[in-house]
Structure 1
Amino acid sequence: MLILNRKINESIIIEDNIEIKILDIVDGKIKLGIEAPKDIRILRKEVYDEVKAENEASIQSIENVLDMIRGKI
């Protein structure tokens, strides 16, 4: 893991097309601004984890249905 120190209005660049900028720091909370191409999906980790869990549950449900269908054929 790369660890960097940044001040308000300072940025980091990822590759050539993603910029993450520190916009504000208040009460221990950091406000980030992210500029990236529209085809780059950007999610908060807790949202990503929730979507991933839902997708895995859906896959398991589909596999269960397929197993039931196979058992009847």
Structure 2
Amino acid sequence: MLVLSRHVDEDIVLVLEDGRRIEIKAVSIRGGKVRMGIEAPRSIGVHRREIWEAMNTKVSAAESA
């Protein structure tokens, strides 16, 4: 795991093998929470982990039915 520190308005850029980019920006920090802004191509799903896990649970249940 790579751990990075960022100040507000600083970015992290992920470059995919095909050249597409995902940009993650620290938008604000309040108390113990960091607000993140994410710019990614529409073809790439961006979800909070709990939403992604719920979506995958539903897909797995549907496939095994």
TM-score with structure 2 setting the length: 0.87
Moved segments of 4+, more than 6 Å:
none
* Greater helix fraction, Structure 1 or Structure 2: 1
The whole-number CA distance in structure 1 between the counterparts of 2:33 and 2:39 is 20
What is the alpha-carbon root mean square deviation over aligned residues? 1.0
Match runs of 1:24-39 below 5 Å: 24-39=28-43
Larger Rg: 1
The whole-number CA distance in structure 1 between the counterparts of 2:23 and 2:8 is 14
Gaps of 5+ in 1: 62-73
TM-score with structure 1 setting the length: 0.78
State the match for 1:4 in structure 2: 4
- How many positions carry a matched residue from both structures? 61
Gaps of 5+ in 2: none
Q: Quick one: percent identity of the two aligned structures? A: 36
Match runs of 1:1-73 below 5 Å: 1-15=1-15, 17-61=21-65
Whose relative contact order is higher, 1 or 2, with alpha carbons under 8 Å and at least 6 apart? 2
